[in-house]
Amino acid sequence: MAPASKDSTASTGSASFLQNLFRAGLYKRNQGRITRQVTFAAIAITVLLGCWQLHQSAATNDLAMRLGLPGGLLCLGLWIAYRMVNLPIFSDFLISVEAEMSKVSWPTKTELVRGSMVVLITILFLAGFLAMFDFLWAMVFKYLGIVG
């Protein structure tokens, strides 16, 4: 049997998305839990702030329009966010991200302070160096009469 073409997998993927949108189950429930929760929280906060902004900018006194539309969009957005972090493709990605993050060797406090000091000293040195060149070129241009 020949492998499926990209066109057939694309149409199956969109149908799968719509089918998954109306499911309530969790995909790989105990894997990537922290990453999924953080991703859901970020999406939910974005949706919440967007709906709050819509509520604040509503120029109508109609209560159904002022509260109903943002409330409905909030519910829809939260459901889509919940389903999005449980889509098999996206969930597998988030599970992989959490697995890779557990492999990272994080610096100790001492290494972090030393590294930060190196960065700050380098930035200050470069800022002074560029300020010196700026002052030098300003004097040259003023002497030549290019800058008044």
- pLDDT of 115 reads 96
- pLDDT at 10 (0 to 100): 46
The whole-number pLDDT of residue 132 equals 97
Q: Is the dihedral of CA 116, 39, 92, 95 positive or negative?
A: positive
pLDDT at 18: 67
Q: Which residues of the chain fall short of a pLDDT of 70?
A: 1-26, 29, 148
Q: Which of 61, 43, 45, 62 is nearest to 53 (CA)?
A: 45
Q: Which pLDDT score, from 0 to 100, does residue 11 have? A: 47
Those residues with Cβ within 8 angstroms of residue 33's Cβ, 6 or more apart along the chain or in another chain: 98
Question: Can you give the pLDDT at residue 14?
Answer: 52
**Token reading at 74:** 């909030």
pLDDT at residue 60 in the model = 73
